[in-house]
């Protein structure tokens, strides 16, 4: 990960914004397509709201980009198996998984210690 980002959430938020801008989708349209308000989209992309796995998947689907482009540094970082598993999980299970990961790997989440 690039050293300019203080934490994972800020890094992913920046990736969400970059993908949206690359596809030339205005915030107002992204709000409609994701079911969130324009203010929520703005706050998510600024890193002011924690990016859930569900939201990352919504961006992936709406923008037609691989999830690995949003949450991985390179396309090859996420195995196809992992993408398949994450894509198949219902939103509530994705939230549970997202909440469990910092507990399993606290060394990657120093702000939560």
Residue 88 lies in a domain: yes
Residue 3 covered by a domain: no
96 belongs to a structural domain: yes
Domain count, the chain: 1
pLDDT digits (tens, 9 = 90+) for 46-94: 989 888 888 999 999 999 998 888 886 544 455 677 778 888 888 888 8
Is the residue at 28 inside a domain? yes
Give pTM, 2 decimals.
0.60
Q: Which long-range contacts (CB under 8 A, 24 or more apart) does 61-66 make?
A: 62/25, 62/30, 62/33, 62/34, 63/19, 63/20, 63/23, 63/25, 64/23, 65/19, 65/23
- The CATH number that applies at residue 70 is 1.10.260.40
- 2 occurs within a structural domain: no
């Amino acid at each position: 990960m690039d050293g300019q980002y203080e934490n994972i959430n800020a890094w992913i938020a920046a990736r969400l914004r970059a993908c949206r801008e690359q596809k030339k989708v205005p915030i107002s349209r992204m709000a409609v397509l994701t079911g969130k308000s324009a203010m929520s989209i703005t706050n998510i992309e600024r890193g002011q709201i924690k990016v859930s796995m569900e939201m990352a998947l919504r961006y992936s689907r709406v923008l037609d980009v691989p999830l690995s482009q949003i949450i991985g540094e390179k396309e090859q970082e996420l195995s196809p198996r992992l993408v398949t598993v994450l894509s198949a999980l219902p939103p509530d299970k994705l939230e549970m998984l997202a909440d469990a990961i910092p507990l399993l790997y606290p060394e990657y989440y120093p702000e939560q210690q």
